[in-house]
Structure formats: structure tokens, C-alpha cells
Structure 1
Amino acid sequence: MNLSLFLFLIGILGFILNRKNIILMIIAIEIMLLAVTLLVLISSYSFDDNVGQTFSIYIISIAGAESVIGLSILVAYYRLRGTISLRT
């Protein structure tokens, strides 16, 4: 559980400290979602429950969809502005 908490804190710090770079923000959000998934898997293993494993598959699929949507928005932003920097 300490590993998932540590990963979640790294994700929060990465999101807060890298507010100018969209790609690093998306990576930080992915790290946070994977930390939550790891915590759900550890909890489901300790309680001997299969529902947590099924729920973790849903979390991973939602994280994948979120990254696809974020990267497509990034491509559209790049085509519009010519750069991915958030400085205006």
C-alpha cells in the first residue's frame, strides 16, 4: 500500500509542477490512475475478492481511453497553434 501511495504522490507532484507541458500532465494523471489500480488490486488480493480485480480492469480501460482522448486533443491543439506549449 505504501508503493501505491508513493506513486499517487508522485503523480500529484508531477501534475502540479508541470503545468506548462500537456504531455507530462497526461503522464502524471496516468500514474495516479495506475496507483489507484494497484491499491485496488492489493486490497482485492488481501480480502480474497475477485470484484476488485474486475474493477481494476475497468480502471485500466478508462485510463487508456482518457489518454487517447487527451492525446487527440493535443494533436488538435498542435494543428491549431503550431506548438504544444501552454504559454500564450
Structure 2
Amino acid sequence: MNLSLFLFLIGILGFILNRKNLLLLIISIEIMLLAVTLLIIISSFNFDDNIGQTFAIYIITIAGAESVIGLSILVAYYRLRGSISLRT
């Protein structure tokens, strides 16, 4: 559980400290989602519950779809601005 908390804190710090780069923001969000998924899987194994493992698979699927949508928005933003930096 400490690893999950550590990964979540890394994701929050990455999100707060890298507010200028869209790609790093997307990566930070993915790290936070995977930390929550890891916590759900660990809790599922501790309580001997298969529903938590199924829920973790759903979270991983939604995280993959979110990253695809985020990267497509990133490509469209790059085509408009010529850079992925959020500086104006």
C-alpha cells in the first residue's frame, strides 16, 4: 500500500510542478490512475474478493481510452500551435 501512495504522490507532484507541458500532465494523470488501480488490486487480494480485480480491469480500460483521447487532443493542439507547451 505504501508503493501505491508513493506513486500517487509522484503523480500529484508531476501534475502540480509541470503545468506547462501537456504530455507530462497526461503522464501524471496516468500514474495517479495506475496507483489507484494498484491499491484496489492489493485490497482485493487482502479481502479475497474478485470484484475488486474486475473493477481494476475496468479502470485500466478507461485509463487506456483516456490516454488515447488525450494524445489525440495533444496532436490537434500541436498542429494548431506548433508546440505542446501551454505558455502563451
TM-score normalised per structure 2: 0.98
2:31 matched to 1:31? yes
Pairing 1:15–2:15 present:
yes
Residue 83 (structure 1) shift: 1.0
Counterpart for residue 5 of structure 1: 5
> What per-residue deviation string (whole Å, max 9, x for no partner) do you get for residues 29-87 of structure 1?
00000000000000000000000000000000010011000000000001111111110
Q: TM-score, normalised by structure 1?
A: 0.98
The alignment's C-alpha RMSD in Å is 0.4
- 1:58 corresponding residue in structure 2: 58
Cα offset, 1:24, TM superposition: 0.5
Provide the identity percentage: 86
Name the SS of the counterpart of 1:43 in structure 2.
Answer: helix
* Unaligned 5+ runs, structure 2: none
**Structure 1: where are the runs of 5+ without partners?**
none
Paired with 1:81 and 1:10, the residues of 2 have a C-alpha distance of: 29
Distance 2:82 2:32 in 1: 29
Matching residue of 2:47? 47
Report how many aligned residue pairs link the two structures.
88
Instruction: Give the Cα–Cα distance (whole angstroms) in 2 for the partners of residues 23 and 32 of structure 1.
Output: 14
